[in-house]
């Protein structure tokens, strides 16, 4: 049994992670703002992680084997966490994102289309951190989501008070709690015979099922000691037309595409730039990924059922 602290953990794969940590016998504490209660037997500290004095008071004398941070979006949040948990945990795992590799959001090394992007394309040990940017402004943070994640990783990498690892997640799909609405976008439009906008030369991206991501985070927290970033994506990149075809097959309809030029806004997961991740490092560390085409039809079928169910 290990003592695990999860920051966030109130929805989607974070909620599932908490449930699976508890089911595997770990002593779990969650830190969040209290909008959702955790399962019975899980300790909850209701506190705003951005309020450092209150966070420290809530933590008291608690120590943990591992902290899993599900909701770190800025270097400011990362710096607060680094101070709060230095000497309080031996390991810190942050959930990060494929978006750190988006070449539209930073000057990154060029990776030829078709070549999976490795972790060292964004090295948090050398990434510039700017604490004085308006990270507390919600509109700014939304517009600079990828950069916030890059800088948060950089702060925690250099903190030195614990061993640090980040899990850079692919686009997450599956489950009734999927809150981004991206898969629902395809389900609804294709079901109703409406067009899906795609780039003329849409490039592939990578995905992961929410259950697989929860399991991988559990593994990263409790069963391995790697440090640094690791990419988390199922095997088999898909482009937007592949995705639409799978949705159409489940819906019994034909997809209708409208092509837009590079640089124009298209449907979710239509990309005119390449940043599909490599999952080689995670495999070398011992993780065996599923194949996207094996679980995606089921996720689509679930989304179709959810969208067809009348609201209560």
* Model confidence pLDDT, tens digit, residues 141-169: 999 999 999 999 999 999 989 999 999 99
Q: Please, what's the b/e burial string for 252-279 (b: 16 or more CB within 10 A of its CB; e: otherwise)?
A: eeebebeebeeeeebbbbbbbebbbbbb
* Model confidence pLDDT, tens digit, residues 178-187: 778 899 999 9
CA distance 172 to 11: 13
Domain ranges of the chain: 3-307
Mean pLDDT of 247-274: 91
**Dihedral, 228, 229, 235, 237 alpha carbons, nearest 10:** -150
- Segment among 101-115, 174-188, 219-233, 261-275 with least mean pLDDT: 174-188
Q: Please, what's the b/e burial string for 143-162 (b: 16 or more CB within 10 A of its CB; e: otherwise)?
A: ebbbbbbbbbbbbbbebebb
pLDDT band of 215, cuts 50, 70, 90: very high
Of residues 312 and 260, more confidently modeled = 260
**Dihedral, 145, 149, 152, 158 alpha carbons, nearest 10:** -150
* Tokens coding 1: 């049994």
* Model confidence pLDDT, tens digit, residues 66-76: 999 999 999 99
Q: What is the 3-state secondary structure (H, E, C) of the chain?
A: CCEEEEECCCCHHHHHHHHHHHHCCCEEEEEECCCCCCCCCCEEEECCCCCHHHHHHHHCCCCEEEEEECCCCCHHHHHHHHHHHCCCEEEEEEEEEHHHHCCCCCCCCCCCCCCCECHHHCCCCCCCCCCCCCCCCHHHHHHCHHHHHHHHHHHHHHHCCCEEEEEEECEEECCCCCCCCHHHHHHHHHHCCCEEEEECCCECECEEEHHHHHHHHHHHHHCCCCCEEEEECCECCECHHHHHHHHHHHHCCCCEEEEECCCCCCCCCCECCCCCECCHHHHHCCCCCCEHHHHHHHHHHHHHHHHHCCCC
What's the pLDDT score for residue 308?
A: 59
pTM of the shown model:
0.94
Give the phi and the psi of residue 258 in degrees, each rounded to 5. -120, 120
CATH of domain 3-307: 3.40.50.720
Mean predicted lDDT score pLDDT of the chain: 93
* Model confidence pLDDT, tens digit, residues 12-68: 898 999 999 999 999 999 999 987 888 899 999 999 999 999 999 999 999 999 999
Pair 41, 27: CB distance under 8 Å: no
What's the pLDDT score for residue 162?
A: 96
What's the pLDDT score for residue 10?
A: 80
CA angle 103, 50, 171 (to 5 degrees): 35
């Amino acid at each position: 049994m290990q003592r695990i602290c999860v920051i966030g953990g109130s929805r989607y794969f974070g909620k599932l992670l908490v449930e699976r940590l508890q089911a595997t016998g770990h002593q779990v504490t969650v830190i969040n703002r209290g909008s959702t209660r955790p399962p019975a037997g899980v300790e909850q500290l209701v506190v705003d992680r951005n309020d450092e004095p209150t966070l420290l008071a809530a933590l008291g004398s608690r120590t943990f084997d591992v902290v899993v941070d599900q909701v770190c979006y800025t270097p400011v949040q990362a710096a607060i966490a680094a101070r709060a948990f230095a000497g309080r945990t031996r390991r810190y795992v942050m959930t990060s994102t494929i978006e750190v590799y988006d070449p539209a959001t930073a000057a990154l090394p060029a990776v030829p289309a078709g070549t999976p992007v490795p972790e060292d394309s964004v090295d948090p040990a050398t990434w510039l951190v700017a604490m004085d940017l308006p990270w507390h402004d919600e509109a700014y943070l939304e517009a600079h989501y990828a950069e916030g994640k890059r800088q948060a990783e950089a702060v925690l990498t250099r903190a030195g008070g614990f061993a640090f690892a980040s899990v850079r997640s692919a686009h997450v799909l599956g489950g009734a709690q999927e809150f981004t609405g991206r898969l629902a976008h395809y389900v609804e439009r294709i079901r109703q015979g409406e067009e899906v906008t795609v780039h003329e030369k849409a490039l592939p991206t990578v995905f992961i099922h929410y259950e697989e991501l929860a399991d991988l985070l559990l593994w990263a927290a409790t069963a391995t000691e790697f440090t640094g970033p690791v990419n988390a994506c199922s095997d088999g990149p898909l482009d937007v037309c592949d995705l639409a075809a799978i949705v159409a097959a489940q819906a019994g309809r034909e997809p209708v595409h409208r092509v837009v030029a590079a640089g124009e806004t298209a449907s979710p997961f239509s990309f005119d730039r390449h940043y599909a991740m490599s999952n080689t490092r995670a495999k070398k560390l011992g993780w065996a990924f599923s194949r996207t085409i094996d679980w995606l039809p089921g996720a689509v079928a679930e989304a179709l059922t959810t969208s067809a169910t009348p609201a209560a």
